[in-house]
Structure 1
Amino acid sequence: MAGAEGKASDLPTRALSALVMVIVAGAALWAGGGTWALFVAAVATGVYWEWSGLVKGFATGPAQRLGWMAGGFVYIVIAATTLLILRLGQYGVSRTLLIVGIVIAIDVCAYFSGRTFGGPKIAPRLSPKKTWAGLIGGAAGAALVIAAYATWASCYDPLFGHCEFERFGKHLPLALAGGTVAAMIAQAGDFFESWMKRRAGVKDSGKLIPGHGGLFDRVDGLMALNFAVGLVGLVMLGGRVLSGAPLLPGAL
């Protein structure tokens, strides 16, 4: 009962913190350019600081600490750079909102699906509340976001081709596949951070955000998804270099 009362009393703080985060992030995204770059750099720096704190909690020696710090630097830089690149061009805002919307849909749908259906846990030792039903719900939510965006973008974003508003269902099969992959990656990012925290013996990655913990706690899934997208982008970029094609597609 005391725990429930504590969570209820913390709700206004959590809501206010969430509202401030949305306003600041939304304003930076809309402004773009240097403002967006500074915002992403600030978040990346904060996450790396929290990463270093977790590593200090479980690294057993200088070599292991150095390896974790180097790996974290690469991981965070690729994820942050992906966010910066997504924002480029006329359709940068919508493309950035797509990947953010996918992660939000995964979190929200996984939460409600898990609470509604329950069932077997995915990794109870790492995250005791995550269920397979939640993962399926998260994948479905991500699929709907992807299909809706593809339908809209086919009329406005040249990267997606011709206008097909009336053919939402056409995008669902591929969107379901993409949503499933996205949900698995986002959940893996969540489990990975939970594993780091468990090894470090802490509940939250930091205390920067009142009622929410640290930055890493809030963007673990988004970072994992951006990292995966960034790796795919690097592979595609390598292919364009080898083929002699322009480095940036004309649609950007």
Structure 2
Amino acid sequence: MSATEPVKNNSDLPVRVASAIIMLVIAGGALWFGGWLWYGFVALVAGACFFELARLVRKAFGSGLRATLGVLAGAAYVGLAGLSLVNLPTGVLLGVILVVIGTDVGAYFSGRAIGGPKIAPTISPSKTWAGLVGGALLAGTVSMSLFVYNVGALTLSVMLIIAFLIGAALAVVAQCGDFLESWLKRKAGQKDSSTLIPGHGGVFDRIDGLLPVAIAAMPLWALHPA
């Protein structure tokens, strides 16, 4: 579920905030301690996500060949993202997470403030082109800021521009992950992937944008000059 989707109601906001804080503390603690604790956390999250994804696929396509292929594709999708999350260096991983957060925040505020034409109203009526542009701009800015932080100086260069473009491109990738889950939920006739997380839906709802970005981050890191 993308951040461009409006909050359900004001009474739900405290629950959403409390759940978000708890999730951040747990995920941040696992990442801080690292090692097998982080591996176990990623495995647990990936397993819950795959269970929800597989259930959506079965509800959407029944029990035939398409459903089987969909479940297998889902396993590869979640599995590749999980492998990336446990193999990326901590600094790169934090950058990936911040870019995804920037995408959601930028899309939420620009989508609400500007509105305008929908990208795919039959799949996700809340997502607008303004939200996509806002998410890409903020994600690009986050990526560029991380580059400046690592380099240690703000200098206009080709690499600075490339860092911005990479962040903006990853924002589009994250939105594609949002659309994939929205499409599956619409096909399955469900509003959320589950009710596991109070105020947020399921695990798949929370990391739908992170999954494809994590997959894309691994080859980008591999191509990064030493």
TM over 0.5: yes
Which residues of structure 1 form unaligned runs of 5+? Answer: 87-91, 156-164, 238-248
Return the structure number with greater relative CO, CA threshold 8 A, min gap 6.
Answer: 2
Number of the residue aligned with 1:159:
none
- 1:140 matched to 2:137: yes
Alignment of 1:73-152 (within 5 A): 73-86=75-88, 92-152=89-149
Pick closer, same or farther for the CA change 1:5–1:152 going to 2, 3 Å: closer
Give the paired residue count.
221
Number of the residue aligned with 2:203:
215
* CA displacement at 1:34 relative to structure 2: 0.3
Structure-2 separation of matches of 1:130 and 1:169: 33
* CA displacement at 1:114 relative to structure 2: 1.0
Pick closer, same or farther for the CA change 1:38–1:168 going to 2, 3 Å: farther
Deviations along 1:33-68, one digit per CA (max 9) or x if unpaired, are: 100000000000000110111012112333222111
| Residue in structure 2 matching 1:61, options 60, 63, 75 | 63
Greater Rg over alpha carbons, structure: 1
- 1:186 matched to 2:174: yes
CA RMSD of aligned residues (A): 2.3
* CA displacement at 1:107 relative to structure 2: 0.3
Number of the residue aligned with 2:155:
167
Structure-2 separation of matches of 1:181 and 1:213: 27
| Residue in structure 1 matching 2:15, options 13, 18, 25 | 13
Local SS of the residue matching 1:39: helix
Structure-2 separation of matches of 1:94 and 1:19: 21
Task: Indicate if the aligned counterparts of 2:111 and 2:128 stay in contact, CA closer than 8 A.
Answer: yes
Task: Indicate if the aligned counterparts of 1:78 and 1:227 stay in contact, CA closer than 8 A.
Answer: yes
* CA displacement at 1:168 relative to structure 2: 5.8
Structure-1 separation of matches of 2:125 and 2:7: 21
Task: Indicate if the aligned counterparts of 2:96 and 2:217 stay in contact, CA closer than 8 A.
Answer: no
Number of the residue aligned with 1:205:
193
